[in-house]
Amino acid sequence: MKFNKICVLGLGYIGLPTASTFAANGVHVVGVDTDLRIVETLRRGEIHIHEPGLRSLVEAAIESGNLRVESSPEEADAFIIAVPTPFFRDKTGEYNGETHKLADMRAVTSAAEAIAPHLRKGNLVVLESTSPPRTTVDLVAPILERSGLKAGVDFHLAYSPERVLPGQILRELIDNARVIGGVTPGSAQAGYDLYSIFVRGEIVKTDATTAEMVKLMENTYRDVNIAIANEFSRLADRFGVDVWEAISLANRHPRVKILSPGPGVGGHCISVDPWFLVETAPDLTPLIYASRQVNDSQTHYVFDLVQRILGSLKGKKITALGLAYKPDVDDLRESPAVEVVQLLQDAGALVKAFEPFKPAGLPGLDTFPTLGESLADAEAVILLVNHSSLKELSPEKLKPITPARILIDTVNGWGGRDWAGAGFTLHRLGVSEHRDNSKR
């Protein structure tokens, strides 16, 4: 199948790189977003998200004339839906007395509704948004069929999950293996033809529901594995073991690869997607549910750790370093770091924060444009995100800019330096109770 023109709906972390990459490969792309601020920002030649290399890719795509930004879709050979699928904030489901989150599919529904009037025979529609199993066949197909055309017969319909890692999106978009699930083999083949335009990784065809499951399995697998790492950090704390040392030793086993503990799991994927499985089959997902509980409660575990170290938090001047959901990204969605700061604030601590990717500050938080300003009168410092620029802080760099001598490291960013020699006491998550870890 040939694709001269495609419409990409949703110009966020996935849609914008995808639209620009197609444009860079000579396809005429209409990028669609319903948020007019995003449309205006992109038309001005600016971008609204931080991702290495993205700005110049978007600029080149727009300058070449191959990428045009609009607020509604139009006729095209193919449509890609890359809109957010968060969960509802204000409603939950219940199973056996336990509450679970529910996927908010309104953006997918609206996108499919917006495409239907423009759908023509022979078109391809691909859903990329992470969705509960059977969304493509049970939710998207019936909406598109309001056009009078039949999915898999008159037009092709497929699900293809994105797998890119924020921070490395542009490379992974091209190099990662890609799964294309069609509602029929012909739809899978049409999807294969579309992504072959730029994907260098293997493209594997399957059915739509398998492709949806694959995506959810990948992120759930990671969530469950981070949960066990977080539980290990709690056990290590109790038994006087350094969890980071123990993990590195266990990982020398040829079939063991334990992930890293931290203040919790954030972002818009791993902390959200496992709920899509719990929601659709709560009777079959006790392990997935428990892992979500462990990872969500890790912020409280870190809060308790800070309280154990500092005693009463009322009036304590604490500086929090890093607010993003993970290292070296500017994304704060579902960030455990932000939640820890809020818990500390609620307990009466006076928390100043520094997020290197957000020097302009953040609403509701006392943020500072520079590291020095955030640390000027601190009594204790808590490292919440292992950003490269924070990880490299040494006793020599910190001493002149802060009176604080108590350091709490939740991400193993500051181990292996002689903090004690410089008068600091370093406490690390997973090493805290019975060891003198200031010398480690």
Kindly compute the dihedral angle of the four CA atoms of residues 40, 41, 42, 45, in this order, to the nearest 10 degrees.
120
Q: DSSP assignment of 114-144, as one string?
A: HHGGG--TT-EEEE-S---TTHIIIIIHHHH
Q: How far is the CB of 403 from ligand SAJ (least distance, A)?
A: 29
Q: Which is nearer to ligand SAJ, 163 or 234 (CB)?
A: 163
Spatial strand order in the sheet of 78-81: 67-70, 28-32, 5-9, 78-81, 124-127, 156-159, 178-182, 203-207
Tally of CB atoms within 10 A around 272: 24
Q: Which of 205, 222, 417, 440 binds ligand SAJ (CB under 6 A)?
A: 222
Q: Tell me whether residue 7 is one of the annotated catalytic residues.
A: no
Site mask for ligand SAJ (CB under 6 A), range 308-327, x = bound? -----------------xx-
Q: How far is the CB of 89 from ligand SAJ (least distance, A)?
A: 19
Q: Which of residues 325-364 bind ligand SAJ (CB under 6 A)?
A: 325-326
Helix axes 36-43, 54-63, angle to 10 degrees: 80
* Residue from 2, 7, 101, 269 carrying the catalytic annotation: 269
Q: Which is nearer to ligand SAJ, 166 or 182 (CB)?
A: 166
Q: Which is nearer to ligand SAJ, 152 or 167 (CB)?
A: 167
* Residue from 215, 316, 352, 391 carrying the catalytic annotation: 215
Site mask for ligand SAJ (CB under 6 A), range 155-174, x = bound? -------xxxxx--------
Site size toward ligand SAJ (CB under 6 A) is 20
Q: Tell me whether residue 101 is one of the annotated catalytic residues.
A: no
Q: How far is the CB of 271 from ligand SAJ (least distance, A)?
A: 7
Which DSSP helix (H) or strand (E) runs through 402?
none
Kind of pairing, strands 203-207 and 317-321?
unpaired
Q: Which is nearer to ligand SAJ, 95 or 198 (CB)?
A: 198
Site mask for ligand SAJ (CB under 6 A), range 237-266, x = bound? ----------------------xx-x--xx
Question: How many residues belong to the chain?
Answer: 440
CA distance 377 to 372: 10
Token pair 């066990």 is found at: 228
Q: DSSP assignment of 265-334, as one string?
A: --SSSTTTHHHHHHHH-GGG-HHHHHHHHHHHHHHHHHHHHHHHHHS--TT-EEEEE--SSSTT----TT
Tokens at 181, concatenated: 């699930």
Q: Does 226 sit near ligand SAJ (CB under 6 A)?
A: yes
**Collapsed DSSP state (helix, strand, coil) of residue 167:** coil
Q: How far is the CB of 259 from ligand SAJ (least distance, A)?
A: 3
Tally of CB atoms within 10 A around 182: 27
Q: Which is nearer to ligand SAJ, 51 or 77 (CB)?
A: 51
**Collapsed DSSP state (helix, strand, coil) of residue 151:** strand
Q: Which of 154, 218, 366, 379 binds ligand SAJ (CB under 6 A)?
A: 218
Q: How far is the CB of 260 from ligand SAJ (least distance, A)?
A: 4
Site mask for ligand SAJ (CB under 6 A), range 291-310, x = bound? --------------------
The answer to whether residues 30 and 36 touch, using CB atoms and an 8 Å cutoff, is: no
Binding part of the chain for ligand SAJ, among 1-9, 219-227, 393-401, 415-423 by CB under 6 A, reads 219-227
Q: How far is the CB of 35 from ligand SAJ (least distance, A)?
A: 19
Q: Which of residues 262-281 bind ligand SAJ (CB under 6 A)?
A: 262, 265-267, 269-270
Token pair 């029929």 is found at: 184
Q: How far is the CB of 165 from ligand SAJ (least distance, A)?
A: 5
Hey, which residues are catalytic here? 215, 269
Binding region for ligand SAJ (CB under 6 A) = 130, 162-166, 218-219, 222, 226, 259-260, 262, 265-267, 269-270, 325-326
